[in-house]
Structure 1
Amino acid sequence: MKLIGSVTSPYVRKVRVVMAEKKLDFTLVLENVWAPETTIQAVNPLGKIPCLVMEDGSTLYDSRVIVEYLDTLTPVCKLLPTIKRERTEVKVWEALADGVIDAAITVFLERRERPPEQQSAKWIERQMGKVHAGLRVMSDKLGESPHCMGVHYTLADVAVGCTLGWLALRFPEIDWRGEYPNLARLFDKLSERASFRDTVPFAA
């Protein structure tokens, strides 16, 4: 399998962490979807990463679709529960974590792509409100549990860890560590795992 993505994207990192936890072999093909010469639409008409190209040439896109498929390939480190209610709760965690990133990336791109005089302060405020609300709910839901779903490591932890890691990279001014020490404890615990150590994002 080939995973098309970048070393910065939190969505790509989520897939990479899952593949590492599942011990799946793949090749990471770096792609800058913002470059004029990008060919991403040849495999994903939406022009987004990650995109998983499988052995038969077929493709999967959207990180949530990809990781759900990957979890079916091997029983090693099952990340999605089989019980429907628990499985749905994990997916809610994933949607929450991805939603925080969706909003934060909107702000990041607004600031990067538009000159200051063209940026919408109202739009930025609205999106940052989503980021802070999402972090607050993640902290409330986590409570004092060792993992998002209690004692078991799941895809929920992967999604939250990737979100926090990206915020630390792109929005260091957000003091989620100081405001939500339980999220900091979870993130530090996750950062000890090889799958997280080997996929730390860096600015590109």
Structure 2
Amino acid sequence: MRLIGMLDSPYVRRVAVSLKCLRLPFIHEPVSVFSHFDAFAGINPVVKAPTLVLDDGTTLMDSSLILEHLERLAPPEHRLMPADLADHARVQRLTGLALAACEKTVQIVYEHELRPIEKRHQPWIDRVHGQLLAAYRQLDAEIGSGRAWLVGTQITQADICAAVAWRFTQSMLADQVRRDGHWALTRLSERMEALPEFASTPAE
């Protein structure tokens, strides 16, 4: 399989780390949706990262949909979604909070880096910023100490997504979302970033 996209995208990194945890072989192709637009369009005309090209040439996009398919390919002992219904709901809950934080971080970054100053709408920016803080406040409160797996006795998608999201926000908006008051997320991030699957997949 071929994973297309840059690892500075939390969505691409999330899939790359997950592929390693799932023990599924793949090739990473660091093609940018910005500086390599035409090359990316040649692989996926929608130009959406991440894009995963399966062995039969089928092209998948959207990190959550990609990971849903990959769960079906992985050996049961390496899957990142628990079979127990209550544990599954818990993983989905924490993953949803982390993805919401990712989305709001991306919106703020794009607003400041891509939109001209005179076209920015401050009330909307303030609203997104509030949503970002709310997502991390809730996530930090719900993940316990950050010193153990978030659900069950092994790594799940909740651990991966929360750690990837926090690292991304800290790399882009550390002045707006401070480590102070988010100690569980900070501890979780430090633990996860030390894992081989994370360390070999650095956020560019």
Same fold (TM over 0.5): yes
What does residue 50 of structure 2 align with?
50
Structure 1: tracts of 5 or more residues without a match: none
Q: Which amino acid aligns with 1:20?
A: K
- Please list the CA deviations of residues 159-203 of structure 1 after superposition, one character each: whole Å capped at 9, or x if unmatched: 00110110111112134421111111111111110111112212x
* Mapped partners of 1:22, 1:44: distance in 2: 24
Aligned to 2:101: 100
- Distance in 2 (CA, whole Å) between partners of 1:175 and 1:119 is 21
Structure 2 partner of 1:200:
202
Residues in 1 aligned to 2:63 and 2:167: alpha-carbon distance in whole angstroms: 16
| Separation of aligned partners in 2, 1:73 and 1:79 | 12
Given the two structures, how large is their TM-score scaled by the length of structure 2? 0.90
Equivalent in the alignment of 1:77: 78
Task: Work out whether residues 31 and 40 of structure 1, in 8 Å CA contact, stay in contact via their aligned partners in 2.
Answer: yes
In structure 2, relative to structure 1, the CA distance for the partners of 1:46 and 1:130 (3 Å cut) is farther
**Structure 2 stretches of 5 or more lacking a match?**
none
Instruction: Show the counterpart of 2:131.
Output: 130
SS at match of 1:144: coil
Question: How much is the aligned-residue C-alpha RMSD, in angstroms?
Answer: 1.9
The one-letter amino acid paired with 2:86 is: R
Could you tell me how far 1:36 is from its partner in structure 2?
7.0
For the 8 Å contact 1:107–1:127, the answer to whether it is kept is yes
**Number of residues of Structure 1 aligned to a counterpart in Structure 2:** 202
The letter for the 1-side match of 2:145 is: E
Distance apart, 1:149 and its partner CA: 1.6
| Aligned-pair CA distance for 1:144 | 2.8
- In structure 1, what is the equivalent of residue 88 of structure 2? 87
- Cα distance in structure 2, aligned partners of 1:115 and 1:97: 28
Partner of 1:188: 190
Corresponding letter in the other structure for 2:154: H
